[in-house]
Structure 1
Amino acid sequence: MEKEEEEEEMVGTTLSQQLRNYIQTMHDQGILDHHFDHVKSLQNEENPQFVMEVISMFSHDAEIGISQATEFLNCVVDFAKVICFVHQLKGSSSSIGGQRMAMACRELRHACDIRSKERCLEIFGRLKQEYNTLHECLNTISQMERTIIANETRRRQP
């Protein structure tokens, strides 16, 4: 029985290390920055799903915002509404550590300031790509977190 527990503990350690390595790779690629580390540091035993909850809220809000921005950029561009959307999205992507996405938001804001529909559409396309990349990264992190939590829960059961 002890050998089984040791193996489960090793799997948990391995998964935790894989998660740390994955997050470091996302840092190295500029997808995540130190703000994500801050979010991760707020997770504890009392709230082991904190990171997953923050990721879920971010993804939900970003998808709604991107959908709305798509409407604002069609036909006659409502630059004021796009600026409002991009301000919110920049804040939420910065808060979760989405460095490249936040940068794309800043560029979209600049394109709105100069009232260039063509530039807005071009940058908005890139912003959506950055969101998809960040979303995929955050989903992977959530899946790894879920597995780690499930393994820890199993290990604690008698």
Structure 2
Amino acid sequence: MLGLGLDQLTSDMNQLLALLFHQGVLDEQFLQLQQLQDEVSPNFVSEVITIFFRESEKLLKILREQLMDKEFSDYKKMGIHVNQFMGSSSSIGAQRVKTVCVAFRSAVEHSNRLGCLRALELLEHEYCYLKNKLHELFQIEQQRVLAAGIRYPVVHH
């Protein structure tokens, strides 16, 4: 029964990953990130993703504040933040987030406030979807690790 649970969790994890690749949420960069995880750094992917989320939250807050400021006109500064977001999403394989950043950058380059607002809204939507799905993935992975790690103590007499 224990092995079945492990197989089911592995299957669930693979199905979720397949869905995220099919939807274009993730790309091969995410797989390369996974390949860097090993026994020495078993939490590598979740640690990198946690840093990505923390930085992304800051960038989204800054971008939202800039666009809500009626006096704002420093699109060069906004472009720097969008480029940071694009780079970090690219480095973890967040394909759809990166794609929205490309459109956002185009709006920034044209000083198109409305385009920037639309791009920010879409960026927040894609970011939330990514965050929820990766959270789900890591929960399954944690359960899988726990299921694989269950050992019954050997009693010596």
TM-score, length-scaled by structure 1: 0.90
The alignment-based identity, stated in percent, is 30
Return the offset for 1:153: 2.4
1:103 aligned partner: 99
Provide the secondary structure at the position in 2 that maps to 1:155.
coil
1:25 paired to 2:19: yes
1:8 paired to 2:2: yes
Instruction: Give the counterpart of 2:43 among 17, 34, 49.
Output: 49
> 1:51-98: CA deviations, max 9, x gaps?
211121111111111001111212224212211111111011111111
Q: How large is the RMSD of aligned CA atoms in angstroms?
A: 1.5
Instruction: Give the counterpart of 1:152 among 148, 151, 157.
Output: 148
Return the offset for 1:157: 5.8
Matches within 5 A, 1:107-122: 107-122=103-118
> Can you give the 5+ residue segments of structure 1 that lack an aligned partner in the other structure?
1-6
Question: Aligned letter for 2:128?
Answer: N
Instruction: Give the counterpart of 2:75 among 69, 73, 79.
Output: 79
Provide the secondary structure at the position in 1 that maps to 2:37.
coil
1:143 paired to 2:139: yes
Query: How many residue pairs end up in the alignment?
Result: 152
Distance 2:32 2:130 in 1: 17
1:4 aligned partner: none
Deviating 4+ runs (over 3 angstroms): 155-158
Question: Aligned letter for 1:119?
Answer: G
1:127 aligned partner: 123
Question: Aligned letter for 2:15?
Answer: N
2:58 aligned partner: 64
> Can you give the 5+ residue segments of structure 2 that lack an aligned partner in the other structure?
none
TM-score, length-scaled by structure 2: 0.90
Question: Aligned letter for 2:44?
Answer: F
Identify which range, 97-106 or 8-17, moves more after superposition: 8-17
Distance 1:62 1:77 in 2: 22
Identify which range, 148-157 or 45-54, moves more after superposition: 148-157
1:93 paired to 2:102: no
Contact 1:51 1:142 in 2 (8 A): no
Contact 1:62 1:89 in 2 (8 A): yes
> 1:2-32: CA deviations, max 9, x gaps?
xxxxx22221122112101110110001111
